[in-house]
Structures are given as structure tokens and as C-alpha cells.
Structure 1
């Protein structure tokens, strides 16, 4: 388990073990790749970030992942893998599940909800995320630990 403070000075506990807490995730963060590029969205207030959001009533967490990726990027998920979960202890504590999704296609949309649509990034996302155009969400340690875990897994698959 990793314990740290986020950009808003909230305590965060990140676990790579399923069902670490008794609290069910009500939010998702989806780290996406499309044709070996990082797929992000442009949140109209926060800037560049991976897609994600809140689970709606009567929706499973997996349904939330597919809906959020489609709404914010037009992305069709080809494969999906659970990566981690984290608790944020702010004014209203919550748990968020993190997934890694490979996207098979991007369908253009007229409306990307609260975002300005998809952005593909080629390169070292771990360095690029510090740019002012990126959301505060991209700058906290959840991204560092989860992207590093995904990259390690992808490297292992290539060697295997």
C-alpha cells in the first residue's frame, strides 16, 4: 500500500490489492492507450487528464468505465484490466477504482459532455504531466504509481 497526500493536501491510500477496503468504489479513473499512445481528454476546467468519473445509480463499476471513456473520448474499449483502488480522505471521503484500457477505435462525437474530447499523447507521460496544461489529477502519486505499474506489466508482456 502507498500512502501520500494529493495536490489538494488530502490523505490518499492506494492499494494494488482488490477489495482492500470495505467501501465500494463510486468513481473510476481509466488510464487509456490507443495505438500505443496515451489517450486523454481535455476537461474544460482542469485540463488534460485520463477519462473517469462517478458511477451512476444502478450502474456497475465496469459499466461506468465504458460509459465514461465513451462520453469523454469516443473511445471503444477493446480490453480492460483493473489496476488499483484508492481512498481519498477529503471533505467527503471516497474510493476510486483505477483501470487500464486498450482502445480499439475512436468514434467522433458532437458532444463530449464536460470535456473537449480526446487528445493522443506520444511520449513520456510521467514527465509531460507536470506541464500547466495537465489537470492537477495527473500530478498526484496515483498517476505515478499506476502508470509505472502498467508500464512494468507491458514491458513484462513484451519480454514474455
Structure 2
């Protein structure tokens, strides 16, 4: 287990074994050698993700959230880890997945986002456009781990 502090000073833990108590998902999506992000209307550019709906599996939530926020359909997907924010008033457990984009569809509505954006890396996104989530130490660790694993194969 790894530990981090988020931008609010809360304790964040990262485990690499699957758990059934996840209530959110985060998808690090790859398409044509680039990363697929969503442009959130309030927070800025970030990886797609959101809440797991009642009766929905984490994997189903990845498919739904990625499609809602970007118009992308997911092919291969693999579990990466569980990111837990230990907040006294509102703790949450986020499953993180690496997903390959199979296809993209134009949508007239992308829910709370402006739709998809592709970048070769997080570093390519202008600093002022990055969501605070891309600056989170745990998410940054996961992104770098996935990127390094991808480059070594």
C-alpha cells in the first residue's frame, strides 16, 4: 500500500488489489498512442470518471462514464488499483482502470463536460487548463506508472 496527501491535506491510500467497496471510478484511456481526457466544464481537463451507479459494476461504470464524458467506447480494460481518500465527512473509494479506446462517436451532449480531448501526455496540457485531479499526487503516480509500463513493453 502506498500513501499520499492530496491538495487538501487528506490522507490518500493506493492499493493494487480489487475491492468491492468502490463508489467511484477513474479511467486512464489510451487512443492511437495518446491519452484521452475530458474537458470538464468547471474543473478543466482531466481523465474521465465518476460515481458508480446503484446496481452497476465498476467495469460497467467505466464504460458508461467514458462514453458519457467523451463519446468513446472502450475495448480492452484492466484494473490498476484502488485509490481511497480518507475524508472524515465524505470518504470515497475510487477504482482506477487502464482502458483502450475502441471507437469514438460524436455526441451533441457530453453531460458535465465539453467532450473529449487527446494529448500525448499530461505534460502537454497547458498548466492553467489542468484539473486539480491531474495535479493530485496519487493520480499523477498512477499515470506515470501506466506510462512507464507502456513504454517498457
Report the TM range for the smaller structure's normalisation. over 0.9
- The residue number in structure 2 matching 1:147 is 143
Please tell me whether the aligned partners of residues 49 and 135 of structure 1 are also in contact (alpha carbons under 8 angstroms). Answer: yes
Look up the SS of the partner of 2:152 in the other structure: helix
Aligned length: 152
Counterparts of residues 72-111 of structure 1 (less than 5 Å): 72-90=69-87, 91-111=89-109
Structure 1 residues 142 and 136: alpha-carbon distance in aligned structure 2, compared to 1, 3 A threshold: same
Of the structure 1 ranges 31-40 and 9-18, higher mean CA displacement relative to structure 2 is found in 9-18
- Give the aligned partner of residue 112 of structure 2: 114
> Is it true that 1:136 corresponds to 2:132 in the alignment?
yes
- Mapped contact 1:129–1:139 kept (Cα < 8 A): no
Matches within 5 A, 1:8-87: 8-19=8-19, 24-87=21-84
Deviation at 1:152, TM superposition (A): 2.6
Q: TM-score under structure 1 normalisation?
A: 0.89
Q: String of CA shifts for 1:8-49, please: whole Å, max 9, x gaps.
A: 221101112333xxx600100000111111100011010000
Please provide the CA RMSD for this pair: 1.5
Structure 2 runs not aligned, ≥5 long: none
- Asked whether the equivalents of residues 41 and 114 of structure 2 are also in contact (C-alpha less than 8 Å), the reply is yes
Distance across 1 between alignment mates of 2:18 and 2:54: 22
Q: Which runs of 5+ in 1 are unaligned?
A: none
Mapped to 2, the partners of 1:136 and 1:62 lie a distance apart of 24
Report the CA distance between 1:155 and its aligned residue: 2.4
Aligned partners of 2:118, 2:124: CA distance in 1, in Å?
13
Match of 2:152 among 139, 151, 156: 156
Contact 2:63 2:74 in 1 (8 A): yes
**What is the TM-score with the length of structure 2 in the denominator?**
0.93
Q: Look up the SS of the partner of 2:18 in the other structure.
A: coil
